[in-house]
Amino acid sequence: MNYTIKTELSIQSSVNDFCAVAAGRKISNCLRAAVKFGMQALTAVFLMAQLSVPVHAASAPVIRFATEATYPPFEYIDQTGQIKGFDIDIANALCAQIKADCTFSNQAFSSLIPSLKLGKFDALISALGVTPERQKQVAFTHSYYEPSGSFVAKTASHYLLTGLPGKTIGVQQGSTFEKYLQDKYGNKVTVKTYASIQDAFLDLDSGRVDIVLADTPIALAWLKQGNKSKTYAIIEKPIVDHTYFGTGYGIAVNLNATALLDKLNKALAEIKANGTYDQITKKYFGD
């Protein structure tokens, strides 16, 4: 409705009526009274115009996530340049529950926790194992995935887990798997670290390392590429070690970000209860 037009018509009508009533008086008196009346009416028009301005709803809060997007199926960059993966779908589902917007930035794995502590991001979701050492620096949500590690090598090598000493093993730098190798095998193996686990697999393919240790889903995803499974395989079976790989993967936030941590934990419980978590897990890992 156009309040201004209706009010102007009302003002004109009221002035005409006023002057008609004052027909027996002096014209100047009528005009002075009309001007005074008009000023009051114009003030009312201004106030009504202010009320007619639409009020915009407050914008949704933004949660800035950082990840290391060379770790399929947890996080990777698709053909369109978008960051996708299991972790990304989990984060988006949590943001939907919180009614927040998510943004994702691709960072080197070793820089994730330092960048979070500097305030460059609000949260990290990057297949981060919850370990005592990391808990000294950041706070974690409840676990959303239980990790295991797998050694991958050429099938023709016929390696056993007891036969690892003397081998060169590739692993991602700064990962819990790197610490596992160093503590469990020490100088018995040569540990070669990589900024990206995909670089470790490239070196395995070219013969520069004998074995790669990675998250089991990462290893399985790599084996599915091309005809890799005809040449390479997981040595024996996946390894589960809570001491090194953590009690599970969690989303990291700063130690003082208790409000955000509570919201994420609440949302995580909700997506597990409403079936969203199971749908995402099935999408990436099957039944």
Is the pLDDT at 219 greater than 90, yes or no?
A: yes
Q: What is the pLDDT of residue 59?
A: 82
| pLDDT tens profile 225-239 | 988 999 999 999 999
Q: What is the pLDDT of residue 40?
A: 54
Q: What is the pLDDT of residue 6?
A: 40
| pLDDT tens profile 2-23 | 433 344 444 444 444 444 444 4
CATH code given to domain 149-245: 3.40.190.10
| pLDDT confidence band for 246 (50 / 70 / 90) | confident
| pLDDT tens profile 110-136 | 999 999 999 999 999 999 999 999 999
Residue range 62-146+247-285 forms a domain whose CATH class is alpha beta
| pLDDT tens profile 131-171 | 999 999 999 999 999 989 999 999 999 999 999 999 999 99
Calculate the average pLDDT of the chain: 85
Longest dimension (CA), the chain: 119
Q: What is the pLDDT of residue 287?
A: 64
Angle formed by the axes of helices 27-52 and 3-21, nearest 10° = 160
Q: Nearest to residue 45, comparing CAs of 4, 15, 2? A: 4
Q: What is the pLDDT of residue 47?
A: 44
Distance of alpha carbon 265 from its chain centroid, rounded? 14
Q: What is the pLDDT of residue 53?
A: 43
